[in-house]
Amino acid sequence: MISDLNSMNELDKVEFIQKVGWVYEHSPWIAERSWDYKPFHSLDDLKHKMEIVVQNASLSEQLQLIKSHPDLAARIDMAEASVQEQSAAGLNSLSPDEYEEFHALNNQYKEKFGFPFIFAVRGSDKTVIKAEMKRRIGLDHSIERNEAIKQIHLIANHRLSDFIK
């Protein structure tokens, strides 16, 4: 954990990437490019600069970012932050029937969009998440890609807020 933003601004590029490269799931390139925007004047400034990096990324980079996220309620190896976030939302304690329903929804979603369903689960529960999955399956591809990126930013913002005090 970094105690404050001043400490973050004093890091060299390699240290910066090591400290915050995990914030965007398996995508340290976002931290690497964000470093060029130093110094960060506030936590919100850092978050905003990281969002700009994603916004300015190519479509293929954005899609790779989305695809780097695990399926919700998946029983696979995933980043520790994802494990904690999904556990807090109750996705690690689904009944067999609930697991099968989430698995089917994930597959339906991925078949339509070509990437996993992304949702910032903090403060939600499995009922809310399942309803959101069903709603978003009906969206247009470009609208849903933008929604996935928006959710990724929410996840990263939560992680940064927890990490930098």
Q: What is the pTM of this model?
A: 0.87
pLDDT by 10s per residue, the chain, length 165? 566 888 999 999 999 999 999 999 999 999 999 999 999 999 999 999 999 999 999 999 999 999 998 777 665 454 555 556 656 556 777 788 888 898 899 999 999 999 999 999 888 888 898 999 999 999 999 999 999 999 999 999 999 998 887
Q: Rounding to the nearest 10 degrees, give the CA dihedral for residues 134, 135, 141, 145.
A: -90
Q: By C-alpha distance, which of 91, 133, 83, 90 is closest to 113?
A: 133
Q: Is 69 a catalytic residue?
A: yes
Q: What is the CATH number of the domain that holds 21?
A: 1.10.3330.10
In the beta sheet, which residues pair with residue 164? Answer: 2
Query: How many domains is the chain built from?
Result: 1
Can you give the residue range of the structural domain that contains 123?
5-163
41, 69, 141, 153: which is the annotated catalytic residue? Answer: 69
